[in-house]
Amino acid sequence: MDRYLRGMVSHVGFTQVAVPFDRDERLHGETGYPMAKMLKLAADGILGFSTFPLTVISRIGFLASGLAVLGALYALAMKLFAPQNVVDGWTFIVMSVLFVGGLQISMLGILGQYIGRIYREVQDRPLYTVRSVYRHGEGRPPAGAPNGAARVGDA
């Protein structure tokens, strides 16, 4: 299982406070957390709590599609205005490859967005957490809230 425990603890919603301290230099041996483990931890944190990589893929796909359109316009312009510099069939091949490549990456990005939404749903994380509940006679509810209303804080 690739559970990013640090992120899960943070996601619970409790108030957290940093405790600064000075750590002495390591006297003996080497760290038990080499670069490969640190990279895996970083990947678990990014992939476990974010769909940002999928968003990046979508943006790259749309950028590639835009570049494909520009490349196709260039190839067409070369065919129309400088046909002596263009090899026969080059324009069609370039336009086809650029269009299909850009379309494929764009569709992968859109598919990735759907997968990211499914991923967020199957994690079954709550949409919000209740910080505190105020009942009639037990304390003052927040300003503007009816008696017995819960004050809700986003996680």
Over residues 90-113, the pLDDT tens digits come to 878 877 887 888 888 888 888 888
3-state class of 148 per DSSP? coil
pLDDT at 13: 66
Q: Please, is 29 exposed, middle or buried when counting C-beta atoms within 10 Å of its C-beta (0-12, 13-18, 19+)?
A: exposed
Cβ neighbours for 103, distance < 8 A, ≥ 6 positions apart: 65, 68
Considering the entire predicted model, what is its pTM?
0.55
Rg of the chain taking only CA atoms, in angstroms: 27
Looking at the chain, the whole-number percentage of residues with pLDDT higher than 90 is: 1
Of the pLDDT bands very low, low, confident and very high (cuts 50, 70, 90), residue 155 is: very low
Q: Is 124 left (phi over 0), alpha (psi -120 to 50) or beta?
A: left
Compute the mean pLDDT over every residue in the chain, rounded to the nearest whole number: 77
Better-scored residue on pLDDT, 146 or 25 = 25
Over residues 54-88, the pLDDT tens digits come to 888 888 888 888 888 888 888 888 888 988 888 88
Rounded mean pLDDT of 127-139?
Answer: 73
Side-chain half-sphere exposure of 149, counting CA atoms within 13 A: 11
Model confidence at 152: pLDDT above 70: no
Rounded mean pLDDT of 111-135?
Answer: 79
